[in-house]
Structure 1
Amino acid sequence: MAQTALLVIDVQDSFLHMPYWDDTGFDDYLERLNRLIASARARNWRVVHILHERAGSPFDPAGPLVRTMAGVDRREGDAEFRKRVHNALTDSGLHQWLQEQGIAKLVIAGLRTEQCCETSTRVASDLGYEVVFVTDATHTFPMRHKGSGTVFDADALKLKTELVLEDRFARIASVADYAAATA
């Protein structure tokens, strides 16, 4: 059986200082994320935290905000990688580490659904990993289309992400799919 890793992407304090931060539904998301992490630990998967860095912003690696958010089940022995692009694999050393660990399956969770989580899923698939995208263990924020002014809420963005990923780049799953197996 292939080794599996849970990637917890960009769940970091930096987001709390962004102008689009909206905590609507965040507590429920955090509870689901921690249930998925607990399920991963029960299955002896590697838990990997990915943190995003960008100079001159709340993501600045020289500042105090590039750290895992309080409330996330992070433990000694969890791996951490830092990235400067939208995917977790190409500039962080993660891909090489996964190969060295014999990990062939990735389970994706984190912030933002349609950006770093979706992009990491696409790149992981292209690199040959089996990928599972756990939509309800991702979180995002409403976005406004500049041309039309149309606002897409978080649920619409998640639905669109599932549409473009499913059966092309990943299998779509929910936290309940994993939590039920460990109950």
Structure 2
Amino acid sequence: MALQMMSTDRPALVVIDVQRGFDDAEVWGERGNPACEAHIASLLALWRSRSWPVVFVQHDSDDSASPLAPSSPGHEFKDVITGTPDLLVRKRVNSSFYGTPDLHSWLRQESITELVICGITTNHCCETTARMAGNLGYETYFAIDATHTFDRVGPTGETVPAAILSMITATNLHGEFATVVTTGDLLADA
């Protein structure tokens, strides 16, 4: 049964930092959700079939040794990111709303009030962008299975698995900043 979520005829898909540099396990560690990219591909196909707006966000690390530095091959988008977006935002911080060109201004200019967020990493750039989108008044949907993150070491030295971090992000966002959904929910709603 469809959730009947999206109420406008032009929801924007915001695809965050799906860059080759995140494939470097030596830098990032163990990742979760191996199906992330397949779900992103499904969402991109849906958005393109409906001619809905697509935003790609690309992280430009200031650290020249980072796999996400503009001079690194890891800066490039993964193969799943195809076609030309309606907007390409380049950023140096976690939030896609602090990039160039200005995402919030573009969304207002395009009269877009609903966003679907996906990409990498769940608990950093995706969660930060969703929080800001909610605070800015957008109807925000967070496609949790179209994101992934990595195991992280906490302040006490224990490793927190990526799946737990994703669940915590979903808990943090749902009902306050965004509606947490799956790719299947969005496909059924379309």
Q: Same fold (TM over 0.5)?
A: yes
Match of 1:118 in 2: 127
Residue in structure 2 matching 1:160, options 151, 168, 175: 168
1:22-101 equivalences in 2 (<5 Å): 22=30, 25-26=33-34, 28-55=35-62, 56=64, 57-70=66-79, 72-92=80-100, 93-101=102-110
CA distance in 2, matches of 1:98, 1:25: 29
SS at match of 1:132: strand
CA distance in 2, matches of 1:177, 1:41: 17
Give the letter for the 2:184 counterpart: A
- Cα RMSD between the aligned structures? 1.8
CA distance in 2, matches of 1:175, 1:14: 24
Shift of 1:172: 0.9
Shift of 1:178: 2.0
CA distance in 2, matches of 1:78, 1:25: 27
Say if 1:2 and 1:103, in contact at 8 Å, map to a contact too. no
Match of 2:140 in 1: 131
The answer for unaligned runs of 5 or more in structure 2 is 1-7
Say if 1:39 and 1:178, in contact at 8 Å, map to a contact too. no
Say if 2:33 and 2:163, in contact at 8 Å, map to a contact too. no
Aligned positions, number: 179
Match of 1:19 in 2: 27
Give the letter for the 2:133 counterpart: A
Match of 2:183 in 1: 175
The answer for unaligned runs of 5 or more in structure 1 is none
Say if 1:2 and 1:105, in contact at 8 Å, map to a contact too. no
Give the letter for the 1:128 counterpart: G
